[in-house]
Amino acid sequence: MTPLRLAILIIALLLGGHAAAQSQPIPVPDPPQLGADGYILMDFHSGRVLVDQNSDVRRDPASITKVMTAFVVFNELRSGDLTMDEPVRISEKAWRAPGSRMFIEVGNDIPVTDLIRGMIIQSGNDASIALAEHIAGSESTFAALMNQYAAELGMTNTHYTNATGLPGDEHYSTAADTARLVQALIERFPDYYRLYSEREFTWGGITQSNRNRMLWQDPSVDGVKTGYTEAAQYCLATSAERDGMRLISVVMGAETPEQRVSQSKSLLNYGYRFFETHRLYAADEPVETPRLWKGVADTLPVGVAEDVFITLPADTYDQLDARIRLNEPLEAPVAAGDRVGRLSVSRNDEVVRERDIIALETVPEAGFVGRTIDTVRLWLN
């Protein structure tokens, strides 16, 4: 081999080795260590927790409480028991509410839509109390509603005594519970959730900016809520979406408003840099069409009841192995929604997601002749 050919071969091997190295998955470093008391980073679609530090420790949630207040209000709107243009009479208690305010006046009739914006954008304690009293008759009764929804969502370390987030001995939540709440709010009320991205609101000639400064500093951020009391320090629940991947971060107990923003940025950037989320299967779409015996149809489309998402380290999607095990033989009658098998998704021989496989159609039994023929075929098989 001539020296020139040898040199070309060496260069080709070096370049090939470099390309192979570039195609390797990005190593996932340890998550950022923040100065806040507790924090969490979670993927919205898959629910996977990517960063967790004291996220189940009960803390004063401050005005992040108003996320649950809004959750209850949105449920009332969706059920038709409340409308956006419905007038709300302002009580003296609401008018006298301490802390952040929308500056509504006692005795006035204010539309629900304006009170919601005053609560979300201006973090108005007065607006929160007005909505609570209008829906439940009193703030304490409304707090009982809040606790019912918290239990429904599995927020086992949360208890509310008011609709505002003002301190109370039995008023507490956690970063993990707050992330679950934000996930549920976005999932159930996507149209109302858009209110959290509005940057300012004017009422009574007074314009107030949204306290969530992330809306100005990161174009992918579209919510959610800040909070502050002396006991809670500075808190921030954030949600952002980049290229179809939505993350939720919650920071509780930061020392300054600037730190809650910078710490939230660190969490989001870590998640987007080192992880990716994929939808593996769509709800109600066939993943297989296996043989069905003794039915009026010979095949049965099967799939999953809900979208199946998975969050994994970046560039490791090709390491996934999905397997479907059906309850064979499948025999009619089958009703849509019946469990007929199990989906198992693994990575490097570790199961990372499991879901039921269900029938996507209802198939009645065949007549006597058809059932008899299939019985014989099954016996022969």
SS3 content of the chain, % helix, strand, coil (to 5): 35, 30, 35
Catalytically annotated residue among 55, 91, 100, 123: 123
Beta bridge partners of 89: 109
Is there a catalytic annotation at residue 55?
Answer: no
Cα end-to-end span (Å), the chain: 62
Cα–Cα dist 143/87, whole Å: 21
| Radius of gyration (C-alpha) of the chain in whole angstroms | 27
Burial (CB < 10 A; 0-12, 13-18, 19+), residue 196, is buried
Using DSSP, state whether 146 is helix, strand or coil: helix
Q: Is 265 known to sit in a ligand binding site? A: no
DSSP at 366:
P
Report the residue count for the chain.
381
In whole angstroms, give the CA distance from residue 175 to residue 356. Answer: 30
266 is a catalytic site residue: no
CB 78 within 8 A of CB 189: yes
Between CA 159 and CA 64 the distance in angstroms is 13
Asked if 250 and 39 touch (Cβ cutoff 8 Å), the reply is yes
Angle at alpha carbon of residue 122, lines to 168 and 158, rounded to 5°:
30
The answer to whether the CB of 173 falls within 8 A of the CB of 62 is no
Strand segments, DSSP code E, in the chain are 38-43, 49-53, 87-89, 109-111, 200-203, 206-209, 221-229, 233-242, 245-254, 275-281, 292-293, 302-303, 308-313, 320-326, 330-331, 339-347, 350-359
Please state whether 165 falls in left (phi above 0), alpha (psi between -120 and 50) or beta.
Answer: left
Instruction: Output DSSP code: residue 288.
Output: B
Q: Which of 63, 91, 100, 249 is catalytic?
A: 63
Catalytic site includes residue 66: yes
46, 55, 66, 239: the active-site residue: 66
Beta pairing partners, 299: 291
79 touches 313 (CB < 8 A): no
Residue positions forming the annotated binding site for substrate: 225
Residue positions forming the annotated binding site: 225
Catalytically annotated residues: 63, 66, 123
